């Protein structure tokens, strides 16, 4: 009997084992892990993440990878590449059952570097470059500055003369910022104060006599205007004003054969002019200028040896003029007649910072043989209309027409302005007003203060003080509202110098924009 029971039990066990052996093993994916759950990388660094699937003998080990922010970092088959400072989550997902694992990524900027003397090569994106002394890009050499770079210039006096830092470009300079990550030329953050708006903390960017190409695309240049000394490189090299003792401009050129493009950039808090060119083919477009010039100064100042298209710029509170156009320095050699076409610029509050006992321009000033064409500019609350030098006239073949003038109702309380009869902006463009105005037959002018409101999206047309040089507000919007009188009537057949054949710098051709049917830089959004 016992034998029978044993045999029966053995039979049952063998049967159960056999049935179990016949069942298929479950090899479906149950989970996934990464070798790292947190990772820190510097810009442009790479690291490969690896994963483990459970069970290890799962039949389907295929996965997909994703980055939560591909502007910060990308991932390709586990290879993570850092692009800019920020955070992102790297996720790996199994194709079977959608099991996931994540790694939290922190991307940090490259270590700061310090420079002085000769420089060339590439300043990598999002890096910080401390400029501790004068720097020079030698002739035949190139410096490229990538997006997001911060150039922090010391404001320390470099010698007993009180000389401040200058950046000299004898070779080529390519500044390639982006809208999201512009390149900044500034001073230490603690020095970026309202009190230092005209502090003249460093010199500026100066193109040498043989400088070939300069590009500033999405750059910010601020706190320039240092007084030159006999030790300043610009003086030693005979650039700008070689006698010393003058305020340095933010950007200067000296080579009539050079090629210079400044687009999508900002010049602000400059003790002197923002742009002062003494040579070269130049395109200046889509820029913003504000707080340019302490006791004098322009947004753009052009001399002999230059061919310039200046278009679609916004210029707020230029001390003397937004545009000063002159053929000063012209000779029978390389310094040919200054040729300028300025169109579709928005000029606000220009000229009120000038010494009221010595009024000069107030929006655009033309003089001394310059051949100019000035169209479609929207000139608002500025001290004067386009004005000429009656003693040193511009080229008689010049054309100034199709410009739009508007004055708010606000008034200057400066005694000299009252004595001079320039209390409102309207006094600077009305019939029988200021002398030496250049008014075109197709200009649009209001008939009284408060008339001809251009209807900006956001700007206090009638209340913003005329004397408000450093009061620019970032939320102002100079686009035009629907129904604005400035939306129609502009000249559309302007022929810029560089519209058909552009200016090639850094291997890329930059063409001047076509004139718009509206006045000013910005139409309807």
pLDDT one-digit tens code per residue, 279-329 = 999 999 999 999 999 999 999 999 999 999 999 999 999 999 999 999 999
Closest CA to 432 of 443, 421, 417, 418: 421
Per-residue CA distances from 200 to 43, 53, 143, 268 (Å): 33, 62, 25, 12
Rounded to whole angstroms, how far apart are CA atoms 334 and 338?
Answer: 11
> 3-state class of 13 per DSSP?
helix
Domain membership flag for residue 70: yes
Closest CA to 175 of 187, 167, 183: 183
φ, ψ (nearest 5 deg) of residue 19: -65, -40
pLDDT at position 266 is 99
Rounded to whole angstroms, how far apart are CA atoms 126 and 297?
Answer: 32
Q: Which two tokens stand for residue 82?
A: 């850092």
pLDDT at position 108 is 97
pLDDT at position 21 is 47
CA angle at 12 for the pair 6 and 13, rounded to the nearest 5°: 90
Burial (CB count within 10 angstroms: exposed 0-12, middle 13-18, buried 19+), residue 104: middle
CATH of the domain at 91: 2.60.40.1080
- The mean per-residue pLDDT over the stretch 418-444 comes to 94
pLDDT at position 367 is 98
Residue 462 predicted with pLDDT over 90: yes
Domain membership flag for residue 114: no
pLDDT at position 356 is 75
pLDDT at position 83 is 96
- Summarised one tens digit per residue, pLDDT across range 101-139 is 999 999 999 899 999 999 999 999 999 999 999 999 999
Domain membership flag for residue 99: yes
pLDDT at position 6 is 53
Residue 278 predicted with pLDDT over 80: yes
pLDDT at position 19 is 47
Domain membership flag for residue 44: yes
Give the whole-number percent of the chain exceeding pLDDT 90.
90
Confidence of residue 4 (pLDDT cuts 50, 70, 90): low
Domain membership flag for residue 55: yes
Q: Which two tokens stand for residue 399?
A: 């054309």
Count of CA atoms in the C-beta half-sphere (13 A) of 191: 18
- Summarised one tens digit per residue, pLDDT across range 466-479 is 999 999 999 999 99
- The mean per-residue pLDDT over the stretch 405-415 comes to 96
- Summarised one tens digit per residue, pLDDT across range 189-217 is 999 999 999 999 999 999 999 999 999 99
Residue 13 predicted with pLDDT over 60: no
Rounded to whole angstroms, how far apart are CA atoms 25 and 150?
Answer: 60
Cis peptide before 55 (omega within 30 of 0): yes
The residue segments making up the domain with residue 89 are 31-108
Helix (H) or strand (E) holding 107: strand 100-108
pLDDT at position 433 is 87
Rounded to whole angstroms, how far apart are CA atoms 345 and 342?
Answer: 7
pLDDT at position 3 is 54
Is the pTM here over 0.95, yes or no?
no
What DSSP assignment string belongs to 422-487? Answer: -SSGGGGTSTT-STTB---TT-EE-SSTT-S---EEE--TTTS-SS-TT---TT-EEEEPTT-GGG
Domain membership flag for residue 88: yes
Write down the residue that tokens 């063409």 correspond to: 511
- Residue 274 carries which DSSP code? S
φ, ψ (nearest 5 deg) of residue 5: -65, -40
Give the whole-number percent of the chain exceeding pLDDT 70.
95
When divided into structural domains, the chain yields a total of 1
pLDDT at position 241 is 86
Confidence of residue 18 (pLDDT cuts 50, 70, 90): very low
Confidence of residue 341 (pLDDT cuts 50, 70, 90): very high
Confidence of residue 22 (pLDDT cuts 50, 70, 90): very low
pLDDT at position 25 is 76
- Summarised one tens digit per residue, pLDDT across range 489-517 is 999 999 999 999 999 999 999 999 999 99
Domain membership flag for residue 65: yes
Helix (H) or strand (E) holding 233: helix 233-236
- The mean per-residue pLDDT over the stretch 4-14 comes to 54
- The mean per-residue pLDDT over the stretch 154-162 comes to 98
Domain membership flag for residue 104: yes
Average pLDDT, the chain: 95
Q: Which two tokens stand for residue 48?
A: 């490969």
φ, ψ (nearest 5 deg) of residue 319: -60, -50
Confidence of residue 393 (pLDDT cuts 50, 70, 90): very high
Query: When comparing pLDDT for 261 and 353, which is higher?
Result: 261
pLDDT at position 336 is 98
Burial (CB count within 10 angstroms: exposed 0-12, middle 13-18, buried 19+), residue 59: exposed
């Amino acid at each position: 009997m016992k034998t029978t029971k044993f045999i029966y039990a053995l039979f049952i066990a063998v049967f159960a084992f056999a049935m179990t052996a016949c069942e298929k093993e479950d090899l479906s994916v149950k989970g996934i892990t990464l070798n790292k759950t947190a990772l820190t990388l510097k810009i442009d660094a790479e690291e490969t993440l690896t994963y483990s699937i459970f069970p290890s003998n799962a039949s389907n080990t295929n996965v997909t990878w994703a980055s939560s922010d591909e502007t910060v970092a990308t991932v390709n088959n586990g290879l993570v590449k850092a692009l800019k400072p920020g955070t992102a989550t790297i996720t790996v997902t199994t194709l079977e059952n959608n099991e996931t694992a994540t790694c939290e990524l922190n991307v940090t900027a490259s270590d700061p570097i310090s420079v002085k003397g000769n420089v060339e090569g590439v300043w990598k994106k999002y890096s910080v470059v401390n400029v501790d002394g004068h720097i020079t890009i030698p002739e035949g050499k190139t410096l490229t500055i990538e997006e997001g770079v911060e150039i922090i210039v010391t404001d320390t006096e470099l010698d007993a003369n009180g000389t401040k830092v200058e950046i000299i470009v004898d070779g080529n300079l390519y500044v390639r910022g982006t809208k999201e990550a512009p390149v900044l030329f500034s001073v230490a953050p603690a020095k970026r104060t309202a009190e230092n708006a005209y502090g003249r903390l460093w010199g500026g960017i100066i193109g040498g006599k043989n400088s070939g190409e300069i590009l500033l695309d999405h750059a910010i240049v601020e706190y320039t205007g240092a007084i030159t000394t006999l030790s300043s490189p610009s003086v030693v090299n005979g650039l700008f004003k070689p006698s010393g003792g003058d305020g340095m401009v933010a950007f200067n050129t000296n080579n009539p054969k050079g090629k210079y493009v400044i687009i999508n950039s900002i010049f602000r808090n400059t003790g002197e002019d923002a742009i002062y060119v003494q040579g070269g083919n130049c395109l200046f477009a889509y820029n913003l200028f504000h707080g340019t010039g302490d006791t004098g100064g322009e947004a753009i100042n052009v001399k002999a040896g230059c061919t310039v298209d200046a278009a679609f710029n916004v210029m707020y509170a230029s001390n003397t003029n937004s545009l000063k156009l002159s053929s000063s320095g012209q000779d029978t050699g390389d310094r040919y007649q200054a040729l300028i076409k300025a169109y579709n610029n928005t000029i606000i509050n220009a000229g009120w910072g000038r010494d009221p006992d010595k009024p000069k321009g107030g929006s655009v000033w033309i003089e001394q043989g310059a051949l100019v064409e000035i169209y479609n500019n929207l000139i608002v609350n500025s001290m004067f209309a386009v004005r000429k030098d009656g003693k040193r006239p511009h080229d008689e073949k010049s054309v100034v027409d199709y410009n739009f003038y508007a004055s708010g109702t606000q008034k200057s309380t400066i005694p000299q302005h009252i004595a001079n009869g320039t209390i409102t902006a309207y006094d600077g463009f009305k019939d029988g007003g200021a002398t030496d105005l250049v008014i075109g037959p197709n200009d649009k002018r209001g008939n009284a203060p408060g008339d001809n409101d251009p209807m900006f999206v956001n700007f206090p047309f009638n209340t913003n003080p005329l004397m408000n040089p450093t009061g620019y507000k970032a939320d102002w919007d100079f686009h035009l509202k629907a129904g604005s009188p400035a939306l129609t009537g502009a000249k559309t057949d302007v022929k810029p110098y560089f519209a058909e054949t552009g200016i090639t710098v850094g291997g890329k051709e930059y063409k001047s924009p076509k004139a718009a049917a509206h006045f000013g830089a910005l139409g309807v959004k």
